[in-house]
């Protein structure tokens, strides 16, 4: 492990161990979580159910990209290559400022479902982003009043903090799996495989079976048997422990809705669909295979 990796891991572990952060995070997180729980439409919009992809990481590309462009343009101005780039720098810095505020909303929504170590890292990530937006706002104000030196210095400081915050965002995604599909590496059988006795699955029953090492949720709805993946794509909870609402299964952890006929995510916070299966009954046994 390189020295840089050791430093990174030390910083991450230090943040994760700060249990006092929970006392600051909980009062902020609870009302956000309650608001999301009350509105399926709001959480579907902010968490990206409509898009089939988390919204926050897509939106963060805008402030990161524009602030990077602004940083480069300021450097070119400082070394005297082209002072006409000042106006372009101010424009992209402004775009970055407002797009960062927009990107923060789905980020806050994603964070509202975290607990323990991910919540602490996410809190520091969000707090750092708040500081960054404040610094860039002060930079824009300085540029506007003609104090360009202060404005450039502030934006450079903000850009340095942005690199730290982006690294924390990567930690949340790639280490803790926030915003990723928790069923991404599951795969069901490609040939029909018996999994359960048809007579034992009554109308409205929801059962968990296994095929090819993958947990699969079985249910009978209006006389027909359906099968989709049992691992919620949002944060990995078991769908068979949830409840049926019409032709949808509701995740017991955070309320995501999945349509049992094709696994589509209908209500967030989940954005990725479930794997769904072809189902048939042969000699009293329910058989499933992963749908093409």
For the chain (292 residues), the mean pLDDT of every run of 10, in chain order, is 67 91 96 93 96 95 97 90 84 97 97 96 98 98 96 97 96 94 96 98 97 97 98 98 98 97 97 98 98 92
Taking the C-alpha atoms of residue 219 and residue 222, their distance in angstroms, rounded to an integer, is 10
**Longest Cα pair distance anywhere in the chain, in angstroms?**
82
Centre a 10 Å sphere on the Cβ of residue 237 and count the other Cβ atoms it contains: 19
Superfamily of chain region 193-290: Rieske [2Fe-2S] iron-sulphur domain (2.102.10.10)
The closest of 140, 5, 123, 9 to 66, measured between CA atoms, is 140
pTM (2 d.p.): 0.90
Write out the DSSP string of 10-59.
HHHHHHHT-THHHHHHHHHHHHHHHHHHH-HHHHHHHHTTTTTS-HHHHH
Query: How does DSSP assign 105-149, residue by residue?
Result: HHHHHHHTT--HHHHHHHHHHHHHHHHHHHHHHHHHHHHHTT-HH
Strand pairing category for 285-290 and 277-282 = antiparallel
What confidence score (pLDDT) does residue 108 get?
97
Residues 6+ apart with CB under 8 A from 246: none
For 103, the enclosing helix (H) or strand (E) is helix 86-111
Instruction: Look at residue 85 in the predicted model and tell me its pLDDT.
Output: 85
- Per the CB < 8 A criterion, the answer to whether 100 and 132 are in contact is yes
Structure tokens at 206: 């929801």
Q: Are strands 285-290 and 265-267 parallel, antiparallel or unpaired?
A: unpaired
């Amino acid at each position: 492990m390189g020295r840089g990796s050791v430093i990174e891991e030390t910083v991450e572990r230090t943040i994760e161990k700060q249990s006092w952060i929970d006392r600051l995070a909980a009062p902020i997180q609870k009302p956000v979580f309650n608001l999301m729980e009350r509105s399926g439409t709001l959480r579907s919009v902010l968490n990206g159910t409509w898009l089939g992809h988390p919204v926050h990481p897509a939106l963060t590309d805008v402030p990161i990209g524009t602030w990077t462009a602004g940083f480069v343009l300021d450097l070119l101005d400082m070394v005297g290559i082209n002072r006409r780039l000042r106006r372009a720098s101010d424009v992209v810095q402004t775009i970055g400022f407002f797009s960062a505020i927009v990107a923060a909303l789905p980020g806050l929504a994603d964070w509202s479902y975290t607990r323990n170590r991910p919540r602490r890292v996410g809190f520091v990530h969000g707090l750092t982003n708040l500081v960054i937006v404040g610094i860039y706002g002060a930079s824009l104000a300085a540029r506007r009043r003609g104090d360009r030196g202060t404005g450039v210095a502030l934006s450079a400081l903000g850009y340095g903090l942005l690199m730290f915050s982006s690294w924390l965002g990567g930690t949340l995604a790639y280490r803790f799996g926030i915003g990723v599909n928790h069923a991404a590496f599951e795969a069901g059988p490609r040939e029909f495989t018996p999994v359960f006795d048809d007579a034992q699955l009554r109308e409205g029953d929801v059962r968990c079976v296994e095929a090819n090492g993958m947990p699969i949720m079985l249910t009978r709805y209006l006389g027909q048997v359906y099968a989709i993946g049992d691992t919620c794509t949002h944060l990995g909870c078991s769908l068979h422990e949830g409840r049926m609402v019409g032709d949808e299964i509701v995740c017991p952890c955070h309320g995501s809705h999945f349509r049992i006929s094709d696994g589509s995510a209908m209500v967030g916070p989940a954005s990725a669909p479930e794997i769904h299966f072809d189902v048939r009954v042969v000699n009293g046994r329910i058989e499933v295979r992963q749908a093409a």
